[in-house]
Amino acid sequence: MSELNLRKGGVERKTTETAIKLELVLEKEGSLQGRSGIGFLDHMLELLMKHSGFRLKLEVAGDLQVDFHHTVEDLGLCLGEAFKQALGAKKGIVRYSSLALPMDEALVLCAVDLSGRPGFYADLTFPTEKIGEFDSQLITAFWQAFAQEAKITLHLKQITGEDAHHLAEAVFKGMGRILREAVRIEGETIPSSKGVL
């Protein structure tokens, strides 16, 4: 596919807390270029890009001396907006996808509807408050922000899991897999009886 035909979105967001510039491409080699400044989040984004087949170019400056929350949430918002841009009118997409993804003892159900309606429903219980220096609750904050700006309905449900790192990996790998399927082009019409998403 030529560069001109790629589905992509770009966002620049500057606040007193963060400065973020990113570009998301839905048809590329599945790679992360750039860093958030948060090691664990970068690891999760690498997994997300690898399993989605998307490409993310990223420039981030955040108030990490305060904590990671502002950067994680704002990055989720920006990524969601870029994803919505890249989808455009959603002509011909699969729209729905779900998967129960295992990561060792952890099993997480991820389900998405690229509906045009923001909804986030999570049932995740992390056994530790921290994963290294990263607050476990920020996994939920990231995906809530993403769903809000992407205008998608997203469900994340923990089925089993005793290791917080494994749970987080299951979420990001699972999300990569279901987003890859949901954005796949399978036809020429908008997959809705309303004619719009």
**CATH number of the structural domain spanning residue 46:** 3.30.230.40
CA–CA gap between residue 55 and residue 33 (Å, rounded): 8
Q: What is the DSSP letter of 80?
A: H
> Which domain, by its residues, includes 119?
3-182
Residue 68 scores a pLDDT above 80: yes
Instruction: Using alpha carbons only, give the angle 65, 130, 162 rounded to the nearest 5 degrees.
Output: 165
Residue 192: inside a domain, yes or no? no
Q: Which amino acid is at 18?
A: T
Residue 115: inside a domain, yes or no? yes
Q: How distant is the alpha carbon of residue 139 from its chain centre?
A: 10
CA–CA gap between residue 117 and residue 154 (Å, rounded): 10
How many domains, the chain? 1
The phi, psi pair for 7, rounded to 5°, reads: -85, 120
Q: What percent of the chain has pLDDT over 70?
A: 98
pLDDT band at residue 5 under the 50/70/90 scheme: confident
pLDDT band at residue 69 under the 50/70/90 scheme: very high
- pLDDT, residue 114, reads 98
Residue 34: inside a domain, yes or no? yes
Tokens representing residue 70 in the block = 């502002």
The HSE-up count of residue 176 (CA atoms within 13 Å, CB side) is: 22
Residue 3 scores a pLDDT above 80: no
Distances from the Cα of 96 to the Cα of 41, 42, 68, 76, 197, angstroms: 26, 27, 31, 21, 12
Residue 197: inside a domain, yes or no? no
Q: Let me know: does 186 contact 94? Beta carbons within 8 Å.
A: yes
pTM check: above 0.85: yes
Residue 1 scores a pLDDT above 70: no
Q: Let me know: does 195 contact 134? Beta carbons within 8 Å.
A: no
Residue the block writes with tokens 């001109």: 4
Q: Let me know: does 157 contact 170? Beta carbons within 8 Å.
A: no
Kindly state the helix (H) or strand (E) to which residue 19 belongs, with its residue range.
strand 18-25
Distances from the Cα of 75 to the Cα of 2, 19, 37, 141, 184, angstroms: 28, 9, 11, 10, 24
Residue 191: inside a domain, yes or no? no
Residue 188: inside a domain, yes or no? no
CA–CA gap between residue 162 and residue 119 (Å, rounded): 27
Residue 189: inside a domain, yes or no? no
Residue 195: inside a domain, yes or no? no
- pLDDT, residue 4, reads 66
Q: Let me know: does 174 contact 106? Beta carbons within 8 Å.
A: no
